[in-house]
Amino acid sequence: MATFVLVHGAWHGGWCWSRVRSALQAKGHQFFTPTLTGIADRSHQLSNDINLTTHARDVANLMVWEELTDVVLCGHSYGGAVISAAAAMAPERVSHLVYLDAFVPENGESLIGLLGKALAPDVAAMFIGGFRGAALAGRSGLMQPIPAEVFNVAQANRAWVDRRCVPQALATFETPALLSGGIDTVSSRLYILADGWDPSPFRHFAAKFEAAPGWRITKLPCSHDVMVDMPQELARELLTLA
């Protein structure tokens, strides 16, 4: 039996993995789909003070308090930064890192900074300006969700996704990832590229790690929300690590 910890991306919540959970449960595996502080069913905790370290600690503490070992730790989109920082906090508990159409920071890099590297300058400026502009409005410090249509989520699933996504603190995108050398002990890494939408910053990371030691790259013909649009196919990819 394998143990999976599946970490959602920005504005989403543990709910987005419901279809993947069913597939893993059917195979008898243990899984956790935490919702990060201030989002979805934890939106009552929302504060503009929440940052990337808060969310990384959510995941690291889950692994510690549930006494999990040999974890397949998967992060979607923004969740890639979360799992990197969480693995740095508790590397002895993680056997595989899975980046699902996700950001992969180096030590000291923020998600905002990675957008600037991974997208054309004008496209990056549009996204970053939108995030910061929303956070300045009313001095809320919060970013508004990007509509599912932008990520080419299947038409039948867009309303379901949009009505569940909630604002998130801009600080989560601007906090540098603090990655100790411990994360380097996690030698098995899988990058799953969602190959069915653009402009995607995640092609940058798939290309960057294509020939890197310890990495395997695979693609799915899907929107950014792979766990929503292709849950069975994603489950099969995850189960290759079981």
Instruction: Provide the annotated active-site residues.
Output: 77
What letter represents residue 188's amino acid?
A: S
Residues with Cβ within 8 Å of 48's Cβ and at least 6 positions away in sequence, in order, are: 135, 140, 141, 142, 169, 170, 171
If phi > 0 it is left, if psi is from -120 to 50 it is alpha, else beta; for residue 141 that is left
Nearest to 158 by CA among 197, 199, 103, 204: 197
The conformation of residue 224, written as its DSSP 8-state character, comes to S
How many CB atoms sit inside 10 A of residue 102's CB? 28
β-strand pairing of 71-76 with 94-100: parallel
Q: Can you list the positions of beta strands (E) in 145-204? A: 168-169, 188-194
DSSP string for residues in 36-67:
PTTSGGGGGG--TT--HHHHHHHHHHHHHHTT
